[in-house]
Amino acid sequence: MYQFNREDYDKRMEWYRQARFGMFIHWGLYAIPARGEWLRSTEQIPKEEYMKYFYEFDPRDYDPKKWARAAKNAGMKYVVLTAKHHDGFCLFDSQYTDFKSTNTRCGRDLVAEYVEAVRAEGLKVGLYFSLLDWYHEDYPHYADRNHPMRGNEAYSDENRDFNRYLDYMHNQVQEICTNYGKLDVLWFDFSYDDMRGEKWRATELINMVRSLQPTVIIDNRLEVSGEGFGSLAECAPTPYHGDFVSPEQIIPPKGLTDKEGKPLAWEACVTMNGNWGYHGTDRFFKPAPMLIKKLVECVSKGGNMLLNVGPDAYGNIPPQSMEILETIGKWMRYNHDSIYGCGACDLPKPDFGRITRNGNRYYFHMFENTIGPVPLIGLEKDKVKKIRALSTGYEIPVSTSWVHSDYPDIVFADLGPDPVLPDDIDYVLEVEMGE
Ligand code: GLC
């Protein structure tokens, strides 16, 4: 029987819990039609028709060093790239298929270049791998609710051998776990209906992965998807339990704990606009200040944020995304101590923002100004050792003003005469507490 080992688990999760912030990259043939990575399914495009993008694919600007640098400058600590998405196209040189980047005009193993570039920046390396495969003949077509050819009589599932597909899928996972050095994150996607757990031969798959990559951190989508928490949350871990929960396009309202109340590792994956893959007309980007606050929200609830970019057909991260990353980076440069290694704390969420905590340091994130001195509710007055403005390190005095004499138990910080906050996105006060 499978024995979950919490000590091993905590050890492999250590860097990930410190990191808090990563980059997701969705990239593939679908960058050319530029209507999102699901277009083959949403528009029910036959394989033959989709192949035109395969023949055209030639990302002349592909330079993963630029991607890695952008991630690093934004303060991200890890990167996860779609080695293969649902369309089945491989960005790596798989010996088990012809449907791969090395057979396109670009002729390169894009994953090999990516892992090298990301490592060179000192970032942790992640690969996303789709469990669904709309290219493989043995993956269910007609009866599968996601397949592009669903419900189409010409694509009956009669002679399809799902086990043959699983052999193929397992072989490819073996390739990515063997040929690209040490992987830090393996991001499987996703389970649905009866396609979950042992249907993927998940125990066998994970045993193989763990034998090749003993410390790789794996998401929970061999069991669930963006919906569902997985067996670790149930306190009944399967051999293929995920290491973290992967809420998608949502930040859990209260953070996440397992059935017994222990905090769970989780990572909210979030798009910058409304799409994962490059989209030609989706210009609904979330403003950088908002994303900074959302990162803080994740950390204040004990989670990570995996923020997505969708490079275009040439391999460039869209300029809007680059600008957002730069703004985030500027803030992170001065305020990262309130993110890395931080987590939730037991104080109530203040009206003006949020709190993150690293040991005896509490970070009060001010999204909004206050009228008068800033109430640091929940701190014991005689234990406050010092208060500093995180971005500059300058001393913030405890207020002695008469205006809060009605609230003798609350510590107030005195930000001085300027009613406007020095940082209009998030001004962080670092409070060090003594014993
Ligand atoms: C999904 C999607 C998808 C995206 C993703 C990211 O469930 O199918 O296209 O890659 O998860 O979380």
Which DSSP string corresponds to 310-338?
---TTSPPPHHHHHHHHHHHHHHHHHGGG
Reading phi first (left if > 0) and then psi (alpha if -120 to 50, else beta), residue 173 is in alpha
Residues forming beta bridges with residue 257, ordered by sequence position: 263
Pocket of ligand 1 (CB under 6 A): 26, 37-38, 189-190, 225-226, 248, 269, 276
Fold classified for 6-338: TIM Barrel (3.20.20)
pLDDT tens-place string over residues 85-99: 999 999 999 999 999
Backbone angles phi, psi at 270, to 5 degrees: -140, 135
Contact between 75 and 292 under an 8 Å Cβ cutoff? The reply is no
Measure CA of the first residue to CA of the last residue in the chain; give whole Å: 44
The conformation of residue 404, written as its DSSP 8-state character, comes to G
Query: Which ranges in the chain are annotated with CATH 3.20.20.80?
Result: 6-338
Reading phi first (left if > 0) and then psi (alpha if -120 to 50, else beta), residue 382 is in alpha
Residues forming beta bridges with residue 267, ordered by sequence position: 304
3-state secondary structure of 375: strand
Fold classified for 353-433: Immunoglobulin-like (2.60.40)
Q: Rounded to the nearest whole angstrom, what is the distance from the C-alpha of residue 35 to the centroid of ligand 1?
A: 14
Confidence of residue 435 (pLDDT cuts 50, 70, 90): confident
Full-model pTM: 0.97
413/256 Cα distance (integer angstroms) = 31
Q: Which atom of ligand 1 is nearest to the CA of 249?
A: 12
pLDDT tens-place string over residues 13-47: 999 999 999 999 999 999 999 999 999 999 999 99
The conformation of residue 377, written as its DSSP 8-state character, comes to T
- The answer to whether the Cα torsion of 285, 289, 295, 298 is positive or negative is negative
| Pocket probe mutation, ligand 1, options 89, 248, 306, max atoms within 8 Å of Cβ | 248
Query: Which ranges in the chain are annotated with CATH 2.60.40.1180?
Result: 353-433
Confidence of residue 1 (pLDDT cuts 50, 70, 90): confident
Joined tokens for residue 252: 């859990």
Q: Rounded to the nearest whole angstrom, what is the distance from the C-alpha of residue 189 to the centroid of ligand 1?
A: 7
pLDDT tens-place string over residues 85-142: 999 999 999 999 999 999 999 999 999 999 999 999 999 999 999 999 999 999 999 9
Q: Which atom of ligand 1 is nearest to the CA of 132?
A: 8
Q: Rounded to the nearest whole angstrom, what is the distance from the C-alpha of residue 165 to the centroid of ligand 1?
A: 21
